[in-house]
Amino acid sequence: MTDDTRWLAPEESAAWVRLVALAELLPGALDAQLLRDAGLTHFEYGALMALAAAPERTMRMTELASRTNATLPRLSHVARRLEERGLIERFPCPEDRRATNATITPAGLALISEAAPGHVETVRANVLDALAPEQLEQLYVIAGAVLARLDPDARLSATSCQFSEGPVDHVVA
């Protein structure tokens, strides 16, 4: 059994193990804080933020799914739950009657405005505060290189997502 697999060198293995651990722990930490303080998963928070940032606070389901890296069924389930809670509303798109538009409600805006500071604080405490400015830059480049492999179409890092950590007030105003 000639095995031509290139096994990982020690430096590779060490970095890889840490990256995997990071990828496993980070989502849980984000969910835990948001769920505790606002009753939202990080995914729901991201979806609401994307809606808040959209023109007219409205977006097609398909586009929202793409921006949040969700499958359409997943988004549909989540949207139903958010709608039941009065945080968003859905209505058929006038131009294309197959499509559905989703809008964030005032209650939804209020909720994310309230949740945002705590979330940002969590991000700082768990990640950003641990890094020097040059490490932030390195992280940006490294994650970009990996994402180019993982997400060649760059759906996820589309424009509006950068907004997802800013204040919401100017939208509410």
The site for DNA (CB under 7 A) is made up of 28, 32, 41, 43, 60-62, 65, 70-81, 90, 93, 96-101
| Of 61, 67, 51, 31, the residue nearest 107 (C-alpha) | 51
User: Which of residues 13 and 62 has its CB atom nearest to a second copy in the complex?
Assistant: 13
Q: Which amino acid is at 98?
A: R
> In this chain, which of 133, 153, 170, 173 binds a second copy, going by CB under 8 A?
133
**Rounded to the nearest whole angstrom, what is the least distance from the CB of residue 112 to a second copy in the complex?**
13
Please name the helix (run of DSSP H) or strand (run of DSSP E) that holds residue 60, with its range, or none: strand 58-60
Backbone φ and ψ of 103, nearest 5°: -130, 140
As measured in angstroms, the least distance from the Cβ of 62 to a second copy is 19
Q: What's the min distance (Å) between Cβ of 96 and DNA?
A: 5
d(CA 69, CA 48): 14
Residue-level length of the chain: 173
* Rounded least distance, CB 4 to DNA, Å: 30
- Helices then strands, counting H and E runs in the chain, come out as 7, 3
Task: Compute the distance between CA of residue 163 and CA of residue 53 in angstroms, rounded to an integer.
Answer: 7
Instruction: Tell whether residue 99 is a contact of a second copy (CB under 8 A).
Output: no
Residues making contact with a second copy (CB under 8 A): 3, 5-8, 10-27, 29-30, 69, 116-117, 120-121, 123-131, 133, 135-151, 156-157, 161-162, 164-167, 169
